[in-house]
Amino acid sequence: MGSLRHECGVFGVVGDADAARITYLGLHALQHRGQEGAGIVARQGGVLRELKGLGLVHEVFDEPAIRSLPGDAAIGHVRYSTAGGNTLANVQPFLVQWREGQLAVCHNGTLTNAGLLRDELEAKGAIFGRSSDTEVILHLVAASDQKTLINRLVDALGRVEGAWCVLALAGDKLVAARDPWGFRPLVLGRRGDAWIVASESCAIEFVQGTVVREVEPGEMLILDEDGVTALRPFPRKPRRACIFEHVYFARPDTTLFGREVYPSRVRMGQVLAREYPARADVVIGVPDSGTPAALGYAEESGIPYGIGLLRSHYVGRTFIEPTQRIRDFGVRLKLQPNKSVVSGKRVVVVDDSIVRGTTSQKIVRMLRQAGAVEVHLRISSPPMTGPCHYGIDTPDREDLLAHRFDLPRIRAFLDADSVAYLSIEQLREAVHEEGSRTCDACFTGNYPIQPAQRGGDGQLTLF
């Protein structure tokens, strides 16, 4: 895995006297979805309080911070800056005071028409203080002529396009809504008498809750002391769950869109071994997300599995770099080759994806320096040829290795003895998904929604 980054994670709870603490724990379980900032808004007696910061969940919150957020309902967010810069102002949830009182909103995904909506709102006098898509949702709620908060939210979310899982907290209600295409996951759970919504099932299980069901694409749930009310206020669309969540984004112990992630990843490796065998002495994975597929490859091929790359989990944001230049130091900070496993061996390396190719190139070089005599790369997803417009931070198309080069040139660029990717059909087979239910646009170019773009001369352009 190269420079592809997760999007965001959301967590909300209603009906638990320690709502902020449960949310803190839930966000910790979703940390893999965003590591640049975290925030929680909690409600007590109709009053919303917030605490947010840059960094990991445990860096942002300590015991006094959690105590400063009393109440029986809370929403929280971990983020990467897919839209908007990495500043404290962009850390969610956003808590605002408007004519109807307080409202907190957080969101996972990317609005493909955020620029157009922002232009339209600014033309009517709206002032934006942040560069995040979520602020667009807040302004649309405020500008709606509907009478109730629920109807305002329906009105606002009916106008946004793209990928969104939105949590909103106001008055005595927590509202959870998922876009009609269902790009990003959102699940409903129970913990005692409390209701939980979270980006992934692993977060519900981490707080010792039980998963009830997926929030359906296009569904809006209203959670309050009366329980859960489900609405279907948005026009139905074809389901387009992100297939790359299965490959890389989701935690392996999660159940995603009704499918368990870990066995899917093992099957990806098994299919790779069947379709793209290699004469080798050892199979290794690029940790962490490449490991289950490497196990599957080893199991299917009969080649022993070894821990040939070690990941350091202790790299903070302020690591001091060596003064003398060390080749590939950036990658070495995270991954170290294990000489005793790879030296003198023909090595199969299983990774989940190749983005720009620079990380894979460095991994091959490190393994050769550690004594590997052959390096065969096996990738548990198809060649990535296009960017994601639905909540994943991908580089421009021109920077994607598989857009620049065909397979022989990719192999030469990486200096590997062989390179093979799963095809999109093989990936679908491994995750037991039909093409008609998934988004695979960054691999196939079949974009379900084209981003709406602003014209350069003040004209608005819709593609």
Active site residues: 8
Angstrom distances, CA of residue 178 to CA of 5, 211, 255, 360: 21, 17, 17, 35
Stretch in the footprint of ligand SF4 (CB under 6 A) among 46-54, 165-173, 219-227, 436-444: 436-444
Single residue of 11, 183, 257, 297 touching ligand SF4 by CB under 6 A: 183
Choice between 419 and 442, CB closer to ligand SF4: 442
Q: How far is the CB of 347 from ligand SF4 (least distance, A)?
A: 28
Query: Is residue 243 within the footprint of ligand SF4 (CB under 6 A)?
Result: yes
Size of the site for ligand SF4 (CB under 6 A): 11
Asked if 390 is part of the footprint of ligand SF4 (rule: CB under 6 A), the reply reads: yes
Q: What is the DSSP string of 201-240?
A: HHHHHHTT-EEEEEPPTT-EEEEETTEEEEE--S------
Sequence letter at residue 186: L
Q: For residue 77, give the nearest of 43, 41, 103, 122 by alpha carbon.
A: 41
Which residues pair with residue 47 across a beta bridge? Answer: 44
Pick 38 or 442: Cβ nearer ligand SF4: 442
Cα–Cα dist 249/98, whole Å: 36
Contact between 8 and ligand SF4 by CB under 6 A: the answer reads no
Closer to ligand SF4 at the Cβ: 243 or 286? 243
Burial class (CB in 10 A: 0-12, 13-18, 19+), 288: middle
Instruction: Say if CB 241 and CB 182 are below 8 A apart.
Output: yes
Contact 77, 106 (CB under 8 A): yes
Of positions 94, 195, 244, 413, contacts ligand SF4 by CB under 6 A: 244
Residue 439, interface with ligand SF4 (CB under 6 A)? yes
Report the residue from 392, 400, 402, 424 that binds ligand SF4 according to the rule CB under 6 A.
Answer: 392
Taking CB under 6 A as the binding criterion, the range among 262-270, 289-297, 368-376, 434-442 that sits at the site for ligand SF4 is 434-442
To the nearest whole angstrom, how small is the minimum distance from the Cβ of residue 214 to ligand SF4? 17
Q: Does 413 bind ligand SF4 (CB under 6 A)?
A: no
421, β-bridge pairs: 379
Given 57, 441, 449, 452, the residue binding ligand SF4 (CB under 6 A): 441
- Inter-axis angle of helices 407-414 and 358-369, nearest 10: 50
Q: Does 250 bind ligand SF4 (CB under 6 A)?
A: no
Q: By C-beta, is 243 or 272 nearer to ligand SF4?
A: 243
Check if the beta carbon of residue 265 is closer than 8 Å to that of residue 246: yes
Site residues, ligand SF4 (CB under 6 A) = 183, 242-244, 388, 390, 392, 439-442
